[in-house]
Amino acid sequence: MSSPDLFYLAPLQGFTDFVYRRCYQQLFGDIDEYYIPYIAAGSGSKIRNSQFREILPENNGQLLVVPQILCANGEETKQLAGELRNFGYRKVNLNLGCPYPMATNRGRGTGLLENPEKLKEVLDILFGEFDFEVSVKFRAGLICEHTIFDRLELLGSYPFRKMIFHPRTANQLYKGTANRELFARLASMSQHPLVYNGDIQSVSDLDEIKRQVPNQNEWMIGRGILADPFLVSRLKGHLPNQATQRDMKWQFHEMMLESYRQIFPDQGQVFEKMKAFWSYFQRVLPTRTKLLNPSKKPEI
């Protein structure tokens, strides 16, 4: 008998913040783990307030969350992991997949994947100086999609809780399609539990991956859930009727809006937060009405 599918919310900066996570869990509740968008050492080695807010225990309540760190070396690793330990976290995810130049040019994200010496330095500290259950999220490489196979021996020498693979290169960003054949190849070689991430939008997407990797049952989804909050319900086969969906969409929107109003006193801040939410959510609204008009801020 096959194991049940497990679904994880991807950590997307500016989108899956603690407001989104709490509202989604309260209304839909079908995610097995929520991955918190990364924290990183900013100016003066300080974590930005917007990132620090995400890891505060009071902002995550009873959610099953996994914080993520974005680092380039051992010093940054110690700082970030130390903050998480101080808050009592037992799990941490290492970001080797951020594709944006602002990270990779500093040796972070996929940039760290390209540097085996620095990567080993980071992993030795995470596993040697801390008592976390460590998972890792990565892409195939910065430019070459075979880089990950050159790192597999190094990664395989550490007891990762799980490995999350988005089979694109960093320079693709989110263009083109995720290379599912690449994932299948890695799955045949990896000794760790492997999570698939990238372009999951329908039941047929899961079925296609399972044809290539029959025992695959762990999935991380980001943009697909942002665009369709009922996606996991579809994948699990218990989609509500149309009337219920319509009511829940409206309720989700109002919960998000009211939550941001309570946090941010400035209407402009609320608008910017809701604009990010609308950029995906408007795709599942029952009308074709445009929510976003860059020339005018709506009264919210």
pLDDT at 295: 40
- Return binding residues for FMN: 68, 137, 166, 222-223
pLDDT at 42: 83
Beta pairing partners, 65: 34
pLDDT at 296: 43
Burial bucket for residue 24 (CB in 10 Å: 0-12, 13-18, 19+): buried
Do 21 and 63 contact (CB within 8 A), yes or no? yes
pLDDT at 2: 73
Do 107 and 118 contact (CB within 8 A), yes or no? yes
Task: For residue 98, indicate whether it is catalytic.
Answer: yes
Give residue 270's identity as a one-letter amino acid code.
V
pLDDT at 287: 55
- Return binding residues: 68, 137, 166, 222-223
- Among left, alpha and beta (phi > 0; psi -120 to 50; other), residue 194 is beta
243 contact partners, CB below 8 Å, separation of at least 6: none
First to last CA, the chain: 50
Per-block average pLDDT, block size 10, for the chain (300 residues)? Answer: 90 97 96 98 86 97 97 97 98 98 97 98 98 98 97 98 98 96 98 97 96 97 96 96 94 96 93 93 62 43
Do 155 and 163 contact (CB within 8 A), yes or no? yes
Nearest CA-CA partner of 19 in 6, 38, 37, 39: 37
What domains are defined for the chain? 36-199 (3.20.20.70), 242-284 (no CATH)
pLDDT at 285: 64
pLDDT at 1: 61
Q: Which of 23, 71, 98, 144 is catalytic?
A: 98
Q: How far apart are CA 177 and CA 196, in angstroms?
A: 14
